[in-house]
Structure 1
Amino acid sequence: MPLCCLVFNETAMRADFCTTCTTKRQHLTTDAKSAMAIPQTCLRRWHWVITLATFTLYFLVLGPMFNFSILYLSLQGEFKSAAAITGWLGSLSAALARLFSPVTVLLEQRLSKRAVTLIGLVLYCTGLLTTSFVPALGYAFITYGVLSGVGANLTLHSSLQLLLEWFAKGNFARASAIALLGSTGGLLAFSPLLTVLITNYGWRNALRVLSGGIFVVGIADGLLLTDPPTTEDIFPRQNRSEDTEQNEHDMQNVRKRERERERADESCKQENEGKERTELLDDAIVSSHEGSNTKPDWCEVWRMMQSLELWLWSVANFLTFLGWTFFDINFASYMDGLNLHSNQISYVIMGFAGGEIGGKLLIALLGGRLPFKYLYVVVSSCLLAAVPLGLMTIVKTFAAIMPIAVASGFLRSGAYGVLYAAGAELFLEKYGPSTVMVLTLVPPGFGILVSAPLSGSLFDVTGSYFASLLVIAAIFVCASAAFLFIPVRRKIRSGGSCYSSASRDQQHELQYPEGQCNQVTM
């Protein structure tokens, strides 16, 4: 065979081989992209799975807690305790469900939020179970008050903060409203369930049944919680496929670039050695100054303590939850004083929950379409809440109290449904999600802690809830004023006042630079 034919055949074989390899690479690239299509689609929609999982956790944990007023009657009947002491048990548990948030933040730095959520769920169910065996009411302050309260905080704080991280770029108001519907749904569902269980089996067996059911469903639900993915987590394989295609286009220039890189490496070697020596010197200088700047976080804490807006936000939240906790702790006792039987009390609580669900659904549907800040929704709910409280001082029948309960539940949705969104709208950009969660959870915890002793003490002294209702109505008016002062202050400061050019925090930074901050905080 002629030599030219051999050369031609060899060239043709190489061309066919290259074509085959290129085709295979293209098929592999297409397969890689197809393989990533399903995970990407799931990850895009997984944030709604997180929303439903958080909804379920709020349903399971806050459902029994918000129906403590039903358990309140059984505990007071068996242990013959005063109204203030019995009510404080529920207040302690609900308060720790918020006050434990700073410790939860520290725990989340070592464990994942899913792990913290599951640990909290175990503690919560353990508290319910051990409460069913207490021989005296004092022991319940440890089992129900502390154990269940701490467990509730670990579960609720971690799951809601995870939800905030998934929706950090937007739509958090709608997601949080859907998730917080779980607490109202739990109030609606557990009210008749707890009434039936207590009536037929007693309050001790009722707590045992609830602890087992909540544990099984809650653990399965908590396993769905995951951290939000980063870009590198979503597209690693796709990026590798794109790199393969790019390498095919640049294959002819690889050897040339390698030769140029070798020559450049030799010229840069000496420069890199000089940079390394400079970095070592800089590290030594930084190490020598570490002793004078060992507490940088206290600077931020000091600035936050000097922020009038944070104090207004905290006081307003304290007063808001001090008032609304009456419906969780003392509402059933109030209706018992009107001589309503247990079924009627259960129906009224369900009506209250139905009104709150309606309000939260409205918030979820509107989402980010409100033409004003979410804070104004909270202000309106607190201000208008004084009206049904005033009416509750004069009504005496089941037919009259039912519409008042529905209206009160609808108004409470304005505070409970958008409070986290309002806090994120005001402070998220400046302080971050962890600080927003603490600011929105801890002050209400103190309000919840004080609510039951205040209402119970007034009841023990006067023999009725008349004085308590008037005091709570006045508290709601003060809370709405404190909330409203935040946007008013911002508008004044941005409208040409002497503080319009720089905020108070910025002026503090100018007055006390970072190097002097620690001296100020000492």
Structure 2
Amino acid sequence: MARRSEPPDGGWGWMVVLSAFFQSALVFGVLRSFGVFFVEFVAAFEEQAARVSWIASIGIAVQQFGSPVGSALSTKFGPRPVVMAGGILAALGMLLASFATSLIHLYLSIGLLSGSGWALTFTPTLACLSRYFSRRRSLATGLALTGVGLSSFAFAPLFQWLLSHYAWRGALLLVSALSLHLVACGALLRPLFLTEDPAVGGPGAQLASLLHHGPFLRYTIALTLINTGFFIPYVHLVAHLQDLNWDPLPAAFLVSVAAISDLVGRVASGWLGDAVPGPVTRLLTLWTTLTGVSLALFPMAQAPTALVALAVAYGFTSGALTPVAFSVLPELVGTGRIYCGLGLLQMVESIGGLLGAPLSGYLRDVTGNYTASFVVAGAFLLAGSGVLITLPHFFCFSAPTLKPQELVTEALDTKVPLPKEGLGED
């Protein structure tokens, strides 16, 4: 098959966007809405809530820490068979969970098996999308990731309806059937061969080069810091509002307001990321800084109007940073190394996501309120912004003469060896 010198920026790429939209919905929409099964599992197995909570936690951990496996397999075999296999595993895990007789069974079926399936789907799909787009990459990513928010609204009431009509075993069977659509999403991922691919080597060579790639390592640190504070409002905002004597229903509604703003922010930021000249890193730094400031201001707001305004601001800016965060990586490491780069990045940054909520809860226990929790969360994002400004070309007001993928193409055409440190190094 002929190799392209650069991404097509359209064509079949829009089908990849459609695949990524449904795939993100079927992975993270299910994960975000799985809490409706929580009460059913507690009652069915007569277990403590903390032990039941491990079902989703194991699934999330396996999905995040297994991302490099999905990336390595996609580098070797292409994303299509990997994502299709992941869809089968995700559906099989839910199917086996419907026959569960103990929590251990659910840990292994949903946590380990479905989690492994999710690990083989999300990262390869986003990496494949990044290879199809260059100028429109931020917009394409933003549109793809709106599937997470839309499915979060749809799946929670759907799962509740399934539980009321079919009980939890029947509901899990139907969620298994729903998850099987990931196979169709994988079938849409047509492989794209770029001129730079032979130069970057196999998964082992790519991993070794990324571990010595200064900008990539700094970017990984930045996103890990951002991830530590990013999810705090979704975990503790309702509890914070109840400390302010809000009723549970209005408090939950405020989280929905943030989620709606998140959707708008993803699309708007995707469009801006492609329209505004200069490195997209600057836009990511702007959204990260504004998200950190809005988080730190939450404890200062007491009036309902101020809290609604902050929820809108947080939702928009946190949603806006997501698509550009994925768009920065190909500029740093080149599209040839995007599979391994994205997998390694997601594995490391997940540490921040896993530690953020427990740290926030610990600060609440120590201080008696959520003031320190939100301030520290905002400080993590501001620290991440500080690391982002150290990336290459951040302070340049003219685009670099050669993009990373163009540097590889030039090396292949002229037989000039690539720089020893790798693409994008300082």
TM-score in terms of structure 1 length: 0.62
For 1:94 and 1:358, locate their aligned partners in 2 and report how far apart those are by CA, in whole Å. 25
For 1:198 and 1:458, locate their aligned partners in 2 and report how far apart those are by CA, in whole Å. 36
1:44 CA drift (Å): 7.0
Residue 389 (structure 1) aligned with residue 354 (structure 2) = no
1:174 CA drift (Å): 1.9
Specify the SS of the correspondent of 2:390.
Answer: helix
For 1:416 and 1:140, locate their aligned partners in 2 and report how far apart those are by CA, in whole Å. 31
Do 1:377 and 1:414's aligned partners in 2 also have CA atoms closer than 8 Å?
no
1:183 CA drift (Å): 1.6
Partner in structure 2 of residue 239 of structure 1: none
Partner in structure 1 of residue 177 of structure 2: 212
Partner in structure 1 of residue 274 of structure 2: 368
For 1:192 and 1:420, locate their aligned partners in 2 and report how far apart those are by CA, in whole Å. 30
Code of the aligned partner of 2:20:
T
Residue 118 (structure 1) aligned with residue 84 (structure 2) = yes
RMSD: 4.0
Residue 179 (structure 1) aligned with residue 144 (structure 2) = yes
The 10-residue stretch of structure 1 (47-56 or 300-309) with the greater mean CA deviation from structure 2: 300-309
**Residue number among 382, 395, 410 corresponding to 1:477 in the alignment:** 382
Do 1:188 and 1:349's aligned partners in 2 also have CA atoms closer than 8 Å?
no
Code of the aligned partner of 1:432:
R
For 1:185 and 1:205, locate their aligned partners in 2 and report how far apart those are by CA, in whole Å. 24
1:299-356 per-position Cα deviation (integer Å, ceiling 9, x unaligned): 7655543443222111111111122233455555556666766654553333222111
For 1:76 and 1:396, locate their aligned partners in 2 and report how far apart those are by CA, in whole Å. 35
Do 2:90 and 2:114's aligned partners in 1 also have CA atoms closer than 8 Å?
yes
Residue 420 (structure 1) aligned with residue 326 (structure 2) = yes
**Number of residue pairs the alignment of both structures matches:** 387
**Residue number among 159, 163, 188 corresponding to 1:224 in the alignment:** 188
For 1:137 and 1:191, locate their aligned partners in 2 and report how far apart those are by CA, in whole Å. 22
For 1:139 and 1:301, locate their aligned partners in 2 and report how far apart those are by CA, in whole Å. 35
For 2:140 and 2:272, locate their aligned partners in 1 and report how far apart those are by CA, in whole Å. 11
Do 1:91 and 1:451's aligned partners in 2 also have CA atoms closer than 8 Å?
no
Code of the aligned partner of 2:277:
P
1:462-517 per-position Cα deviation (integer Å, ceiling 9, x unaligned): 665444323212211111111122247886xxxxxxxxxxxxx95769xxxxxxxx
For 2:61 and 2:239, locate their aligned partners in 1 and report how far apart those are by CA, in whole Å. 20
Residue 189 (structure 1) aligned with residue 154 (structure 2) = yes
Partner in structure 1 of residue 127 of structure 2: 161
- Mark the CA change 1:68 to 1:401 in structure 2 (over 3 Å): closer, same or farther: farther
Partner in structure 2 of residue 81 of structure 1: 49
Specify the SS of the correspondent of 1:486.
Answer: coil
Residue 62 (structure 1) aligned with residue 28 (structure 2) = yes
For 1:387 and 1:299, locate their aligned partners in 2 and report how far apart those are by CA, in whole Å. 40
- Mark the CA change 1:131 to 1:442 in structure 2 (over 3 Å): closer, same or farther: same
1:210-232 per-position Cα deviation (integer Å, ceiling 9, x unaligned): 333343x434444333223799x
For 1:138 and 1:331, locate their aligned partners in 2 and report how far apart those are by CA, in whole Å. 31
Code of the aligned partner of 2:175:
L
Residue 49 (structure 1) aligned with residue 15 (structure 2) = yes
The 10-residue stretch of structure 1 (45-54 or 187-196) with the greater mean CA deviation from structure 2: 187-196
For 1:222 and 1:395, locate their aligned partners in 2 and report how far apart those are by CA, in whole Å. 45
Do 1:351 and 1:406's aligned partners in 2 also have CA atoms closer than 8 Å?
yes
For structure 2, the residue ranges without an aligned partner over 5 or more in a row are 1-8, 196-200, 397-417
For 1:133 and 1:305, locate their aligned partners in 2 and report how far apart those are by CA, in whole Å. 43
The 10-residue stretch of structure 1 (372-381 or 201-210) with the greater mean CA deviation from structure 2: 201-210
Higher helix share: 1
Residue 105 (structure 1) aligned with residue 71 (structure 2) = yes
For 1:332 and 1:408, locate their aligned partners in 2 and report how far apart those are by CA, in whole Å. 14
- Mark the CA change 1:323 to 1:79 in structure 2 (over 3 Å): closer, same or farther: farther
1:461 CA drift (Å): 5.5
Code of the aligned partner of 1:163:
L
1:359 CA drift (Å): 1.0
- Mark the CA change 1:434 to 1:460 in structure 2 (over 3 Å): closer, same or farther: same
Code of the aligned partner of 2:284:
V
Specify the SS of the correspondent of 2:389.
Answer: helix
Do 1:121 and 1:218's aligned partners in 2 also have CA atoms closer than 8 Å?
yes
1:422 CA drift (Å): 0.9
1:91 CA drift (Å): 4.5
Partner in structure 2 of residue 433 of structure 1: 338
1:220-256 per-position Cα deviation (integer Å, ceiling 9, x unaligned): 444333223799xxxxxxxxxxxxxxxxxxxxxxxxx
Partner in structure 2 of residue 448 of structure 1: 353
Code of the aligned partner of 1:228:
L
1:62-112 per-position Cα deviation (integer Å, ceiling 9, x unaligned): 112234566667777974334xx7766544433432321221133235544
Residue 405 (structure 1) aligned with residue 307 (structure 2) = no
For 1:136 and 1:403, locate their aligned partners in 2 and report how far apart those are by CA, in whole Å. 45
- Mark the CA change 1:377 to 1:193 in structure 2 (over 3 Å): closer, same or farther: farther
For 2:218 and 2:157, locate their aligned partners in 1 and report how far apart those are by CA, in whole Å. 38
The 10-residue stretch of structure 1 (106-115 or 418-427) with the greater mean CA deviation from structure 2: 106-115
For 2:239 and 2:107, locate their aligned partners in 1 and report how far apart those are by CA, in whole Å. 20
- Mark the CA change 1:221 to 1:105 in structure 2 (over 3 Å): closer, same or farther: closer
- Mark the CA change 1:157 to 1:319 in structure 2 (over 3 Å): closer, same or farther: same
1:345-374 per-position Cα deviation (integer Å, ceiling 9, x unaligned): 553333222111111121233352112322
Q: Which protein shows a greater Rg?
A: 1
Residue 356 (structure 1) aligned with residue 293 (structure 2) = no
1:453 CA drift (Å): 3.2
Partner in structure 2 of residue 143 of structure 1: 109
- Mark the CA change 1:106 to 1:508 in structure 2 (over 3 Å): closer, same or farther: closer
For 2:252 and 2:274, locate their aligned partners in 1 and report how far apart those are by CA, in whole Å. 34
Specify the SS of the correspondent of 1:96.
Answer: helix
- Mark the CA change 1:60 to 1:316 in structure 2 (over 3 Å): closer, same or farther: same
For structure 1, the residue ranges without an aligned partner over 5 or more in a row are 1-42, 232-294, 492-504, 510-522
